[in-house]
């Protein structure tokens, strides 16, 4: 049995990860400040009783070290973040406070308590900036220029992880995630067009498509992403690895597919494209197959169907 420390554990991806690790027989300690995470996401995890512990805590808090000292995790799954592009443009200092200083707090706690490895949720949709070639490979990160403070902070953390590996002996794997979607995604946040469109359609409201809708993303299902985290606990040390499908899907196509599933007839509303948004993105996943033994297995239509079914039920 391994003890895992999951930051952002009550969040959309983090809660699914807690469920997966517990189902595999591990012990999980989760922290989340509940800014975007929800206690309701932890219903399944709380059913594991003593094997699961949750703390409502900011990753920047001084008390974090006490949790590390008490529970002595072997692996940290670091998903907690300020995860919005637009908020980072408005308040870069807050973005850096959470994503950089919060991460440094975790890294220092890890050093002081003998953590073996950190698996980090990087952002494949922002850290590469506007890719010159698609699907983008991990080697593009070295010369990338992110378009937002959020992307910058996600890129910089990888350099910190490399430093802590060389000088403090902590292994790491950074997973550059595509646009993750699936059950439990917050339909009221900015980072989930699938959840936003679906919740609007189910409520009979017309969603807004920003820009011309031809901008593309690499949409990857939450369960597939969780599988990558689980594999990375013991593999791919010292590597940045893309976790995506390698397929570009436009916002317009997402709208059409969801409208068909929901049975929604109206055409979308239109709005201006926000600043800091990429035009196109897809992630080369060859290294994920080689270093992790990972590949995506959920087809987009199937994943959309599961997401719609979940949002219908809440």
The answer as to whether 144 is a domain residue is: yes
The pLDDT profile of the chain, 314 residues, written as one tens digit per residue, is 899 999 999 999 999 999 999 999 999 999 999 999 999 999 999 999 999 999 999 999 999 999 999 999 999 999 999 988 889 999 999 999 999 999 999 999 999 999 999 999 999 999 999 988 999 999 999 999 999 999 999 999 999 999 999 999 999 999 999 999 999 998 875 558 999 999 999 999 999 999 999 999 999 999 999 999 999 999 999 999 999 999 999 999 999 999 999 999 999 999 998 887 889 999 999 999 999 999 999 999 999 999 999 999 87
DSSP lists the bridge partners of residue 219 as: 179
287, 235 contact by CB (below 8 A): no
Note down the domain range covering 19: 3-182+219-246+284-297
- Can you give the pLDDT at residue 58? 98
- Look at residue 191 in the predicted model and tell me its pLDDT: 55
User: By C-alpha distance, which of 38, 49, 58, 41 is closest to 226?
Assistant: 41
Pair 225, 177: CB distance under 8 Å:
yes
Q: Is residue 226 part of a domain?
A: yes
273 domain-assigned: no
Domain count of the fold of the chain: 1
What is the C-alpha to C-alpha distance for residues 178 and 176, in angstroms, rounded to an integer?
A: 7
Whether residue 47 is contained in a domain is answered as: yes
Query: What is the gyration radius of the CA atoms in the chain, in angstroms?
Result: 19
Note the pLDDT of residue 185: 92
Domain-embedded: residue 271:
no
Give the pLDDT confidence score for residue 190 in this predicted structure. Answer: 52
- Residue 306 forms part of a structural domain: no
User: Quick one: pLDDT at residue 149?
Assistant: 95
Is 78 among the domain residues?
yes
Residue 58, C-beta contacts closer than 8 angstroms, at least 6 positions apart = 33, 102
Concerning whether 255 is annotated as a catalytic residue, the answer is: no
Count Cβ neighbours within 10 Å for each residue of 47-76 and write b for 16 or more, e otherwise.
Answer: ebeebbbbbebbbbeeebbebbeebebbbb
Name the active-site residue from 120, 150, 181, 255: 150
- Give pLDDT, residue 216: 95
Give dist(CA 260, CA 168) in Å, integer.
52
Q: Which CATH number goes with the domain that contains 116?
A: 3.40.50.720
Asked if residues 224 and 296 have their Cβ atoms less than 8 Å apart, the reply is: yes
Residue 312 lies in a domain: no
Quick one: pLDDT at residue 189?
A: 58
> Looking at residue 197, what is its pLDDT?
96
| pTM over cut 0.85 | yes
């Amino acid at each position: 049995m391994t003890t895992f420390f999951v930051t952002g554990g009550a969040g959309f991806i983090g809660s699914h990860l807690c469920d997966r690790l517990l189902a595999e027989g591990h012990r999980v300690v989760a922290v989340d400040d509940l800014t975007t995470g929800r206690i309701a996401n932890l219903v399944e995890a709380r059913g594991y009783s003593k094997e699961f512990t949750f703390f409502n805590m900011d990753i920047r808090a001084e008390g974090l070290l006490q949790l590390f000292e008490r529970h002595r995790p072997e692996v940290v799954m670091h998903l907690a973040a300020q995860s919005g592009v637009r908020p980072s443009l408005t308040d870069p200092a807050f973005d850096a406070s959470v994503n950089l200083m919060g991460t440094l707090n975790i890294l220092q706690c890890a050093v002081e308590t003998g953590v073996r490895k950190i698996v980090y949720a990087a952002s494949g949709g922002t850290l590469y900036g506007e890719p010159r070639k698609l699907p983008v490979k991990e080697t593009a990160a070295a010369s990338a220029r992110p378009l937002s403070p959020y992307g910058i902070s996600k890129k910089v953390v990888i350099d910190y992880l490399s430093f802590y590996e060389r000088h403090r002996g902590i292994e790491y794997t950074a997973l550059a995630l595509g646009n993750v979607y699936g059950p439990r995604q917050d339909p009221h946040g900015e980072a989930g067009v699938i959840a936003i469109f679906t919740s609007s359609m189910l409520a009979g409201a017309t969603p807004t498509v920003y820009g011309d809708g031809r901008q593309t993303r690499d949409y990857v299902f939450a369960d597939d992403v969780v599988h990558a985290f689980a594999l990375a606990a013991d593999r791919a040390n010292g590597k940045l690895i893309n976790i995506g499908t390698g397929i570009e899907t436009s916002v317009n196509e997402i709208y059409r597919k969801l409208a068909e599933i929901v049975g929604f007839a109206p055409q979308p509303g239109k709005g201006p494209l926000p600043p800091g948004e990429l035009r196109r993105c897809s992630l080369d996943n060859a290294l994920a197959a080689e270093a992790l033994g990972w590949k995506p297995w959920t087809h987009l239509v199937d994943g959309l169907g599961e997401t719609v079914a979940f949002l219908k039920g809440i």
